[in-house]
Amino acid sequence: MTTGTPGLPRAAGAPTGPARMPVLYLSHGAPPLADDELWTSQLADWGVRLPRPRGILMISAHWESAPVTLSATGAVPLVHDFWGFPERYYQVRYPAPGAPQLAERVRALLAGPGEPVQDAPDRGLDHGAYVPLAEMFPEADVPVLQLSMPTLEPEQLLRLGRRLAPLRDEGHLIVGSGFFTHNLSGMQWGAGVDEAPGWSREFDDWGREAIARADVDSLLDFENKSPAGRIAHPRSEHFAPLFVALGAGEADLAGARTVIDGFWAGLAKRSVQFGRAA
């Protein structure tokens, strides 16, 4: 994992323009993702091919807070919200600029009567945000804001994403960060990229097909409509960021593309882009 030092050059001709920005749902991995040469190279290549955003709005599986809450817009430490890893993972830094203007715009889009938007001025980016961003935007030169999930209820998160969609036309990248399957008790450490338990493979295949069909209703009701949905996600927080991405990317669901697939320790790392070719 990089720590804000120069990395891959950004794609030529990729400055922010008037065209609508894409929306991403990505599987973010754990801190050891930094040691996976294949996955880090896939994320880095994806980042280079994206149009350069004015700012990035991250919705991570690792921050649930109601009412909806905005992270720090100034320099604060990262949230190393994991335990039992080697010390080097706690030394990672990702000094991306804060995004106060993006925060004001998000507040304007979401706040309303009976719908407060809170601030958490001391909360930095958690590993669901900085782990993938360190590979995709290694220069750490794009302003980043994190938004809490105020609920895990799929329909509410879909509506939240819809309200955020105008940010796309203003040059901002919206990223839902989770894990396409996430059952830690079923992980298979040391498994290859094509190796996975049946429940993980079955859910991944079903999800791939549902996204290809733009079958939002089935995705929202994944616990009942999918094979092994309750095994793949004993708790839904790692699938839930997809619902925000579906809402924000609603205009481009028919053109959704899987950018990264395969498995890591038996978990599906499927990652999807809505809008603008990757």
Residue 204 inside a domain? The answer is yes
Grouping H, G, I as helix, E, B as strand and the rest as coil, residue 208 is helix
Domain count across the chain = 1
Residue 229 inside a domain? The answer is yes
Residue 247 inside a domain? The answer is yes
Residue 49 inside a domain? The answer is yes
pLDDT at 165: 98
- Range of 193's domain? 23-274
pLDDT at 97: 96
- Per DSSP, which regions of the chain are E strands? 23-27, 55-64, 69-70, 118-119, 144-149, 172-178, 257-260, 263-264, 267-268, 271-274
Cα 242 to chain centroid distance, Å, stands at 8
- Burial call 133-160: b when 16+ CB within 10 Å, e when fewer: bbbbbbebebbbbbbbbbbeebebbbeb
Whether the CB-CB separation of 106 and 16 falls below 8 Å is answered with no
* Single-letter amino acid code for the residue at 57: L
Contact partners, residue 24, CB within 8 Å, separation at least 6: 173, 174, 175, 176, 245, 271, 272, 273, 274
Residue 2 inside a domain? The answer is no
Q: Round to whole Å and give the CA distance between 184 and 266.
A: 10
Retrieve residue 179's tokens: 């894990």
What are the pLDDT digits (tens) for 184-227?
A: 888 888 788 899 999 999 999 999 999 999 999 999 999 999 99
Burial of 179 (0-12, 13-18, 19+ CB in 10 A): buried
Residue 10 inside a domain? The answer is no
In sequence order, which ranges of 197-272 are alpha helices (DSSP H)?
198-212, 216-220, 222-225, 229-232, 240-248
Residue 15 inside a domain? The answer is no
Q: Higher-confidence residue: 138 or 80?
A: 138
> The domain spanning residue 76 has which CATH number?
3.40.830.10
Residue 4 inside a domain? The answer is no
User: What is the number of residues in the chain?
Assistant: 278
pLDDT at 139: 97
What are the pLDDT digits (tens) for 43-99?
A: 999 999 999 999 999 999 999 999 999 999 998 988 887 756 777 778 888 999 999
